[in-house]
Amino acid sequence: MSFSSIIEREVLFGNPERVFVRLSPDGKYLSYIAPYEGVLNIWLAPLDNINKASVITQDNKRGIHTYNWAFDGKTLLYMKDQEGNENWQLFAVDVQTKQHRCLTPQLNIQARIEKLTPLFPNKLLVAINDRDPAYHDLYKINIQTEEKTLIFKNEEYSNYICNENLELKILTKETSEGGSSWFCFEDGEIQIFQEIPVEDRMTTMPLRFNKDGSKLYLIDSRGRNTGALFKFDVATGEQELVGGDLRTDISDIIVNPKTKEIEAYAVTHGRKEWIFCDEKIATEIKEFQNIQEGDVEILSRTLDDRHWIVCFLKDDGPLYYYHYDRLQKQRTFLFSNRPDLDAVSLVKMRPTVIKARDGLDLMCYLSLPSDTVNLSQLLPLVLLVHGGPSARDYWGYEPIPQWLANRGYAVLSVNYRGSTGFGKDFLNAGNGEWGAKMHEDLLDAVQWAIDQKIADPQKVAIMGGSYGGYAALIGLTFTPDVFACGIDIVGPSNLLTLVESIPPYWKPFLTAFKVTIGADFDTAEGKEFLKKRSPIYYVDKIRKPLLICQGANDPRVKQAESDQIVKEMEERNIPVTYILYPDEGHGLTRPENRLSFFGIAEAFLAQNLGGRKQPLAEKDFNSSSFQVKAGEEMISDLKNYVKN
């Protein structure tokens, strides 16, 4: 098998050139996120002259990663936290004056935007846990005057659905069994609306109202396996099926900016498939598909629906953005998010169904160092485990699989049981199976790669973040002979201390979490169950090299999760390398930190699996906050760059 040239890590893990491209509601402006002095900020340009773009925010720390246009057409709204602690504050910037204001100035609170509407362009609904950290009250905020009005004082509910008139209409609450109850809110009165059984709790959810509030769109799996799209008639109480798929849940929708009706919905098995309810939209998207390869996505639309921003999503290339003028039928290429990727050789991500030992179908994605089908030699394999576990892997460009494949590894991403998107039966099959059948699914995927003569059984690594980090620790403790090494990124080591330290705003979801994890951790029996599924109690079993990455400000998987397993290993003289980032949370946001960690991880994998490596250099650590808390000597290339 021939290998392409080494792709520099900065190309894969550095900042994108432009991303998150959007239109102002009136179509005057094009906005996007791009680096300013090395930090991601919001840029603005006239739609008819994007060469006149200028930066309108000047964050100099973690960067801005998402934003919304207010419907006044002159205000951008964005969120910032403090070094990864997920205490999000809401900011507004005037695109003409560039004046910035914090709309939620309280410290140590978490704000989230609940509703923006063109009917009230100067106002929005925001949920804030400023009174009680466990529950988010609902406020109406005037963007211009900053006046804040309490709409609903929340003492037990987990979610809100509001209509286009900025009125609270539906409240949801977890039941004592782990299911969900939906309540109507009308004239200050709360009445039960729907009861969702525990088995449907994560595949049934209200989505949104249409413009006049006569219809509620929802995903519903009751009476079926997969979550299908329905519309509920508010006046008659009748619920009508819009569409669904026997393989997967609804994964996305397209909403008309004028009527707020759903024009298309998507299902994602191996790749995303759009099903259109509007023939005009379907025709226009099909015409776009003739331009180039890739999955077409509508990213932004003006309020009059004349202008669109459309992108092409590929697995072996960057995102390509286009402006579409529907009136003129004109499609104009704008730019790509990472032009440097056009100059390198990337590989395909292959959707592959693998059978688990009990017959479940596991949708996996395989990336190989070369797209040549006939393998001439067994490859080292990296098993890449997604977090959640209530999440899933998708087809498309991903930097980590591309990086690993370029270094000579086969990469296998597995949607193990408990992953979302494949119906409630598959999702609920993961309940109580942390470190058990969920781990067996990962082992079955590895064995498939061995049986297919893809993977060298002596050179298999397990790597992941969050639950994926936990899976890596499980792999090295529960099945120490399977894996040659492991990389744990912000993964919990002790499920007992994990549940004792969860953020207060997770309180409304605790019962559902008990169902997912499989134990009532308020009982002695539940605590004993979690102990048996916790890697820290099996540290003596670790015989293979382990690399751990942790953010000091992680509110979900706190630093203690990594500290304690490292302490246990050191007390037993079991080697471990531990990298701490004092300015990160649940993952690595700053590109300087990504470059340093993946440089370290690359050296670690090369040392233990024999893959290719780009040598570490001083530039990989410039401005990174990394601290090596243990085991610098375990990675031979690292010692020259450790800060004293």
pLDDT classification of 374: cutoffs 50, 70, 90: low
| pLDDT score, position 452 | 97
Quickly list H helices, 306-366: none
pLDDT classification of 195: cutoffs 50, 70, 90: very high
Q: In terms of pTM, does the model score above 0.85?
A: yes
pLDDT classification of 641: cutoffs 50, 70, 90: confident
Strands 295-301 and 272-276, by their bridges, are unpaired
Per residue in 445-486, pLDDT (tens digit) is: 999 999 999 999 999 999 999 999 999 999 999 999 999 999
User: Is 90 exceeded by the pLDDT of residue 371?
Assistant: no
| pLDDT score, position 293 | 87
Per residue in 89-110, pLDDT (tens digit) is: 999 999 999 999 999 999 899 9
DSSP 587: B
| pLDDT score, position 643 | 63
Cβ atoms of 262 and 242 within 8 Å: the answer is yes
User: Is 90 exceeded by the pLDDT of residue 368?
Assistant: yes
| pLDDT score, position 615 | 94
Mean pLDDT in the chain?
96
pLDDT classification of 132: cutoffs 50, 70, 90: very high
| pLDDT score, position 598 | 98
Please give the average per-residue pLDDT across 505-511, as a whole number.
90
User: Exposure pattern of 550-586 as b/e (b: 16+ CB <10 Å)?
Assistant: bbbbbbbbbbbbbbebbbbbeeeebebbbbbbebbbb
Length of the chain: 644
| pLDDT score, position 376 | 76
| One-letter amino acid of 83 | E
Please give the average per-residue pLDDT across 206-222, as a whole number.
97
Whether the bond between 535 and the residue before it is cis, its omega within 30 degrees of 0, is no
Per residue in 311-327, pLDDT (tens digit) is: 999 999 999 999 999 99
Give the residue numbers marked as catalytic. Answer: 466, 554, 586
pLDDT classification of 501: cutoffs 50, 70, 90: very high
Beta carbons within 8 Å of 83's beta carbon, 6+ residues apart: 61, 62, 553, 582, 583, 584, 585
| pLDDT score, position 426 | 98
Q: Return the half-sphere exposure (C-beta side, CA atoms, 13 A cut-off) of residue 580.
A: 17
pLDDT classification of 522: cutoffs 50, 70, 90: very high
Please give the average per-residue pLDDT across 182-197, as a whole number.
95
Distance CA 602, CA 638 (A): 11
Residue predicted with more confidence, 507 or 588: 588
User: Is 70 exceeded by the pLDDT of residue 337?
Assistant: yes
| pLDDT score, position 1 | 52
pLDDT classification of 428: cutoffs 50, 70, 90: very high
Strands 410-414 and 379-385, by their bridges, are parallel
